[in-house]
């Protein structure tokens, strides 16, 4: 009898994990609260169940007698996967540790209490406390939901005048109705360190460091893509690796993909902004597979089932091999009817296009500042070309919405 794996989330970016599990010969059980999620048409069995309700997911897991559970590329569902795994004695990481990594307030507190560099921060649940704590911090400061992903609800605030709006915006994206206020870090270099790493047996066996680019036109904190190779940080990488491995070890993490965001301040201090307890979104694992040969999607599935993953790394990966590639996000910044994407200005650089929306689809932003239409993989002749295009992608890509 094939092993059963439960996957939490059936969004367009999560379908790749469902397909991979099926290719590997496993039975796929999907949970997603959205009735129109596309993953249900790929999975062997679908339950319309919220992936953030740990007791509902646990009941489904028991009824299906699953052999493993995975939250692929989803922050909110990662603690649920750990909870279910711990309850049923399945392969998994400690629930409390995954909670710490998954919630910004818990993570900042843990970093501070355990000797890691971290911005000064305060968790607040109402605007009066927000005002009080703002007086303890110097502007500019960051206001964020403690439990959102993809930079949703994040604002840089320059003065008291912008605080109310930032507070309301963050609250709109926090299911727990909690936000975090923290000091703004001035970066040493233009790009933050982004990407994924993978843990097997408590040790990080794969490092997928990438440059993290932001969408300057839509929102300076919205990821617009990642690029390779990592630049500017070569003299600090060993120290960054040591700190991340110490965090993994201290939290008794056993396995899995982890999404990295690290900022090195202008004072040279290493700040681990995020170590998300799941694979990165925006097709980062797929992009890294093309670069390195390390299949984090397969590794995630097999480890969740307690199976070994026999990995190989491409010769030349991580060295100066004249490879300049990027995975870029196509954002819609207005509502309307999607007509298509014009990539003619970068046609020589485009290698693959993955569209989640089709011509004629209605795009409704609502409270969102952006809407992800798809991902494109690009290859460049030089590092200069790569940064010129990725940092100003909106100048080279035409999103047609009427």
Question: Any alpha helices (H) in 341-402, and if so which ranges?
Answer: 383-390
Res 368: pLDDT: 63
Q: Is 319 exposed, middle or buried (0-12, 13-18, 19+ CB in 10 A)?
A: exposed
Q: Which residues contact 144 (CB under 8 A, 6 or more apart)?
A: 104, 153, 154, 155, 170, 179, 180, 182
Q: Bin 141: left if φ > 0, else alpha if -120 < ψ < 50, else beta.
A: beta
Question: What is the rounded average pLDDT of the residues 138-146?
Answer: 95
pTM, two decimals, is: 0.94
The pLDDT value given to residue 244 = 98
Q: What is the DSSP letter of 94?
A: -
> What does the pLDDT read at residue 366?
66
For residue 84, what is the enclosing H or E element?
helix 78-88
pLDDT the model gives residue 75 = 87
Quick: pLDDT tens for 36-46. 999 999 999 99
Alpha-carbon gap, residue 114 to 139, rounded angstroms: 26
Q: Give the pLDDT confidence score for residue 98 in this predicted structure.
A: 98
Q: How confident is the model at residue 218 (pLDDT cuts 50, 70, 90)?
A: low
Task: Provide the pLDDT confidence category of residue 233 given band limits of 50, 70 and 90.
Answer: confident
Mean pLDDT of 190-207: 96
Output the pLDDT for position 231: 85
In angstroms, rounded to a whole number, what is the distance separating the alpha carbons of residues 79 and 58? 12
Q: Is 232 left (phi over 0), alpha (psi -120 to 50) or beta?
A: left
pLDDT one-digit tens code per residue, 39-78: 999 999 999 999 999 999 999 999 999 999 999 988 889 9
pLDDT digit string, tens, across residues 279-305: 998 899 999 999 999 999 999 999 999
Give the model confidence (pLDDT) of 359-371 as tens digits.
Answer: 999 988 766 666 8
Give the model's pLDDT for residue 202: 98
pLDDT in tens, 311-358: 989 988 987 678 999 999 998 888 999 999 999 999 999 999 999 999
Q: Are 301 and 70 in contact (CB under 8 A)?
A: yes
């Amino acid at each position: 009898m094939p092993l059963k794996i439960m996957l939490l989330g059936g969004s367009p970016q999560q379908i790749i994990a469902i397909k991979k599990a099926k290719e590997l010969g496993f039975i796929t059980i999907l949970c997603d609260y959205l009735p129109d999620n596309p993953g249900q048409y790929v999975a062997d069995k679908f339950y319309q169940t919220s992936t953030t309700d740990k007791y509902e997911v646990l009941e489904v897991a028991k009824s299906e007698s699953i052999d493993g559970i995975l939250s692929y590329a989803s922050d909110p569902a990662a603690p649920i996967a750990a909870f279910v795994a711990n309850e049923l004695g399945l392969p998994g990481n400690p629930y409390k540790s995954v909670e710490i990594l998954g919630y910004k307030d818990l993570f900042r507190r843990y970093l501070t209490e355990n000797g890691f560099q971290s911005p000064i921060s305060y968790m607040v649940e109402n605007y009066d406390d927000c005002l009080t704590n703002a007086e303890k911090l110097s502007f500019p400061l960051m206001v964020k939901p403690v439990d959102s992903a993809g930079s949703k609800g994040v604002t840089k605030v320059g003065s008291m005048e912008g605080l109310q709006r930032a507070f309301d915006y963050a609250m709109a994206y926090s299911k727990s109705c909690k936000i975090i206020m923290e000091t703004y870090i001035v970066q040493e270099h233009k790009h933050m360190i982004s990407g994924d790493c993978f843990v097997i047996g408590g040790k990080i066996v794969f490092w997928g460091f990438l440059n993290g680019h932001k969408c300057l036109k839509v929102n300076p904190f919205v990821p617009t893509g990642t690029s390779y190779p990592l630049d500017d940080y070569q003299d600090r990488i060993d120290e960054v690796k040591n700190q991340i491995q110490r965090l993994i070890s201290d939290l008794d993490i056993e396995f899995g993909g982890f999404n990295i965001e690290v900022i090195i301040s202008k004072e040279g201090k290493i700040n681990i902004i995020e170590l998300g307890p799941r694979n990165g979104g925006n097709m980062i694992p797929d992009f890294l597979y093309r670069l390195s040969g390390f299949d984090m999607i397969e590794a995630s599935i097999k480890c969740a089932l307690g199976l070994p993953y026999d990995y190989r790394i491409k010769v030349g990966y991580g060295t100066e091999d004249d490879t300049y590639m990027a995975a870029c996000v196509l954002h819609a910044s207005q509502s309307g009817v999607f007509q298509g994407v014009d990539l003619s200005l970068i046609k020589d650089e485009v290698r693959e296009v993955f569209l989640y929306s089709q011509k004629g689809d209605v795009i409704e932003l609502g409270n969102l500042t952006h809407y992800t239409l798809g991902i494109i993989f690009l290859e460049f002749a030089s590092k200069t070309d790569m940064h010129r295009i990725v940092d100003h992608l909106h100048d080279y890509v035409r999103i047609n919405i009427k």
